[in-house]
A and B are shown apart, each in its own frame.
Chain A
Amino acid sequence: MRTSGQIDKILLVDDEQDIREVIEISLSGSGYTVFTAENGKQALDIFKKEKPLIVLTDIKMPGMSGIDLLRKIKNINPDTEVIIITGHGDTDLAIKSLKYEAIDFITKPISYDALQIALKRANDKIITRCQLEEYTNSLEILLREKTELQDHLSSLGIMIGSISHGIKGLLTRLDGGVYLMESAYENSKFDEIGEGLSIFKETVNRIKKMVLDILYSAKERKLKLEKINVAEFAADVAVVIEQKIEKNKIEFHRDFGSDDIECEMDAKYIHSALINILDNAVDACLADKTKSSHKIVFKVDQDNGNLIFEIKDSGIGMDLKTREKIFNLFYSSKGSKGTGFGLFITDSIIKQHHGRINLNSAIGKGTHFNIKIPKHHTKKA
């Protein structure tokens, strides 16, 4: 439990020694570790040192009054529950104490039952607060998971487009789960929080599975081949990544060759294939702190019947071992920031276009991707 105090400690404040003794015996009998103080000043010292979550204080004391002590304690740790002990006829004072958020008050002479009821109220409130804290924590974790998921999904580009209906429904369910939790939380309806939470968890799992399914079925998807103006297409790709590059103060060089190159391809697919490589290039630059500036080159070229995309970065580069693994599904060196989807998808898209990917890379020098696809595809019979 994450609380900023000690739930089994009680601070008891009263200027009359016999009252302190009687209550102390009763509280110790209920399993509390009891600290006693005979005035407000002493009480504050003990409070700061022992951090009890429950304070029991007399309202009328010489020096600092019970109400003043209450206000000071609430100021130091608002999560503390304060029970006020009042004398006969102190009704006005008692009501004033509630205004300053005392949890309860009991009147002298103190009955065992009244004390137990007040303690139970205080404890219930403390436990409720702990639960709320726990729910808030798991809500935060889940929301982060949702955002990461959405980011990953959107970086997959086309894949999302084609299965978007299902995914969109599931994302809406996630929102629903969060909404139910938040709404229940605000109204302190804990059973309903659990309901939202389980919807959320179940949906996260379904999306994860769905993403895997998409990946495996991606290879089987039919290409939609169209004649594309390459310079325009490349400019569209650049626009998507430009912001990320510029935001990170990386130099960006574009060279899209002549205006009239045309190529038959599935533009959406090639688009995301290139974005994945460009994304990695940015990451590689950001990961390399040894250089004072970085540069990414995105170039289009052609040679007999083939279209060539070149993407160069001045980032961290890779060793041979890494180079061999980068196209594997789930291979990533980026911990929770990477899924290892990117190049796996790029690779399968380029293969579907009967193309090839070559790369040169060296640690500390940077990486150079070279993607070649035939400009025309003869229709298969």
Chain B
Amino acid sequence: MENKLLDVTNLTVEFGGLTALSGLDFQLREGELLGLIGPNGSGKTTCFNAITGIYKPSKGSVVLLTKDITGLNSQKIYKSGITRTFQRLRLAVGLSVFDNLVIGDTVDLNTSVLFNLLKRKALRKQVDYQLNKVKNILKIFNPDLVNAIYEPISKLTMIDRRRVEVCRALISRPRVLLLDEPSAGMTSEETREFMDDLLEIKKKTPSLGIILIEHEMSVIQRVTDRCVVLNYGKKIAEGTYKAISCSRDVRVAYLGED
């Protein structure tokens, strides 16, 4: 397969006796938006956690381009170019929007103690550079957010918090972006707006691969190139929305049909 970005093979995660993810295989190509769907508890979040080093997989491998990143810790996964959002928002609520976005860009910061204490002019340059970067990325999702840079996250609406979380994941220019139910808590109108922004990001960064966990089938139909369907930790179907929506297994498991 050409332009293969992420190659997940036989990925298995066990919690004691419970196998949350079992022998999952899939691939993500450059520029692709892959939907990861399945009923609650089917292992979608677990899959993200295993890829990003929060859980250690008990079997299987994850390869990014040519690099085997299986079992690396979260920091190294981030540095190799995979970022994510969380199903339950994990922003630093007491900090400003700016602070939160910069946390997404730690690869780009000079964190030497002496630099930070003594080279204040150079630090200020870095801060201003980040300020620009933060503004530019927020503009894509909501120009109003640019004015909220100095506000604490606690003052933002739910949808703006979701947007900030996506911007935090995008600001370091990752190769792979993992979105865990970004539309949770949004109205369908807000979801539509959000997905438009996501498609714009996709167009602007043609090499970025995105995996999207999403419940709403109409959204999946509109934005994804391909889908992987999970049930009880196993892949039960894979293909375009059209293909998977015809699959009988999917209808039974996911759409609750008999």
Do A and B pair up? The answer is no
Q: Which residues of A contact B (CB under 8 A)?
A: none
